Amino acid sequence: MNRYSLIILGCMAAAILATSCANDAPAPYGPLPTPSQVAWQQMETNMFVHFGPNTFSGKEWGDGTEPEDMFAPDSLDCRQWVRTAKLAGFKGIIITAKHHDGFCLWPNPESVHTVAQSSWRDGKGDVLKELSDACREYGVKFGVYISPWDRHDPHYGTPEYNNVYIRTLQSALTSYGEVFEQWFDGACGEGPNGKRQVYDWPAFNAAVAEMQPGAVIFSDIGPGCRWVGNERGSAGETCWSALDTEGFGSGKDAPSQDTLNTGNVHGRHWIPAESDVSIRPGWFWRESENDKVKSVEDLIGIYYTSVGRNSLMLLNVPPDTSGRIHRTDSIRLMEFRTALDGIFAVNLADGAEAVADNERGRRFRASNLIDGEYDTFWACDDGCLTPSFTLTLPEPRTFNLVVLQEYIPLGQRVSSFAVEARNAGGEWSTIGEGTTIGYKRILRVPDITASEVRVRITSAYACPVLAEAGLYMDNISE
Ligand code: FUL
């Protein structure tokens, strides 16, 4: 081999090296989601179902003395719940298998306060079975809320209760197939003997992890997802999926509601926010609230402040005393979904040319932002923290929502951004600004007609990695 061949070979090797570097995805930044947490976040909207003796007593919190026969739905139809959820676009359902009154909606062998002791269906009924079967039938995921606070169990307030509770978890989590989310309420009030319980959270979490390894565990502080800090369905405009949990617990030991609302910018753990909110004033159904079901506009607003702020929307839709979702609520859900589908049916950025001032090689082109694929993304060179991209639309289009999505398997990286539009006279002006993006950020802006839109990342902790960008028009909300 002569000198020239060597030089040519050397150049080729250098070129291959350079190409492969440019084709490497950026290194992940900060805490990262597990695959289950990514799949969970992509569900976006889920249905919460509060159902139990309170449905019949009209109370929000039963005190545990309710006779089992109080639970008497005359025409329970879980398939109707799941069909309604499915048509409303919900991907999962979480049911209050046991609320604070201790009554179990399944024949829990650890308790004598369950459907098995009631005369409903001669003690042979099992709501969890009927619901999980219906979920499988319709392809909706099944999750459970099992309150640690128990105002009926005589062991409550003693160390033995923790064992009873773990066996209760085992019973619910091993009998009904896959569970996508376990909901731990942080409430810790007094039990029947006036004592409070010292919960063994590590053992509770370990029991869930063992029996349902794919389940995302909700509590005030995770470990799978966290409470958003309010029951209005409103995540912080700044909403980090990261949270510091050292020194904190659930319930009264939780971080401040503000912290839960925004997360911790450099938090050590990936514990995204879930926004639980009821379609009615209360969590349980009451005749007197049939005319207080939230409006479509309210629900769209909640969607923007939950899903649109890097959180999940967990909307409670409580069945009535017949055991069915009341028609007022189901009609409202259909209206809600129709409205959402109308708003998001067409990405007004479709057909645009996407050009960025920095691209990390061909695999990470700005065109990935508008390909409708979450798993392909625009990424920048390491150290490039304030890039921008421009969408040039085929013609002037009118929009009032800007949607951005980070590719969260590589972490949450962006801390602020600005959106600009170019008017007919060719001048650029800022039309909106935001802080965090995360899995999804929906930024509302005034009605804008433009043919060029520029998104400038104004600060980030690592080179931005954005999966999708979209422009939409909401003609419904004020
Ligand atoms: C709270 C409970 O006390 C409410 O009754 C409701 O279940 C809500 C979702 O969580 O902590």
Atom index in ligand 1 nearest the CA of residue 284 equals: 5
Residue of minimum CA distance from atom 10 in ligand 1: 185
Q: Which of 277, 283, 317 to mutate to test the pocket of ligand 1 (most atoms within 8 A of CB)?
A: 283
Q: Whose CA is nearest to atom 1 of ligand 1?
A: 185
pTM of the entire structure?
0.95
Ligand 1, atom 6: closest residue by C-alpha: 283
CA distance 194 to 28: 49
Confidence band for 2, pLDDT divided at 50, 70 and 90 = low
pLDDT band at 5 (very low <50, low <70, confident <90, very high): low
CA angle 371, 374, 380 (to 5 degrees): 80
Contact 357, 110 (CB under 8 A): no
Atom of ligand 1 nearest to the CA of 316: 9
CA distance 62 to 280: 18
Work out the number of other CB atoms within 10 angstroms of the CB of residue 139: 9
Residue to mutate (ligand 1; options 100, 151, 185; most atoms within 8 A of CB):
185
Atom of ligand 1 nearest to the CA of 147: 7
Identify the CA nearest to 411 among candidates 434, 377, 439.
Answer: 439
CB-facing half-sphere around the CA of 170: CA atoms within 13 A? 13
Predicted local distance difference test score (pLDDT) of residue 346: 94
Name all residues whose Cβ lies below 6 A of ligand 1.
60, 185, 187, 276, 283
- pLDDT confidence band for 270 (50 / 70 / 90): very high
CA distances from 47 to 50, 81, 145, 274, 284 (A): 10, 9, 12, 12, 14
How confident is residue 15, by pLDDT bands cut at 50, 70 and 90? Answer: very low
C-alpha–C-alpha distance, residues 353 and 317, integer Å? 42
Residue ID of nearest Cα to ligand 1 atom 3: 187
Q: Kindly report the backbone phi and psi dihedral angles of residue 57, in degrees, each rounded to the nearest multiple of 5, phi listed first.
A: -90, -20
3-class DSSP state of 259: helix
Look at residues 14, 127, 24, 112 and name the one whose alpha carbon lies nearest to residue 64.
Answer: 112
Q: Which pLDDT tens digit goes with each residue over 211-242?
A: 999 999 999 999 999 999 999 999 999 999 99
Rounded to whole angstroms, how far apart are CA atoms 412 and 271? 12
**What is the number of the ligand 1 atom nearest to the C-alpha of 276?**
9
User: 178 CA distance to ligand 1 centroid (A)?
Assistant: 24
pLDDT tens for 424-452 read 889 999 999 999 999 999 999 999 999 99
Could you give the CA distance from residue 342 to residue 227 in angstroms, rounded to a whole number? 30
Question: Rounded to an integer, what distance in angstroms lies between the CA atom of residue 240 and that of residue 412?
Answer: 7
Q: What atom of ligand 1 comes closest to residue 96's alpha carbon?
A: 7
Strands 388-406 and 441-460: antiparallel
| Beta bridge partner(s), residue 330 | none
**CA-to-CA distance for 405 and 470, rounded, in angstroms?**
9
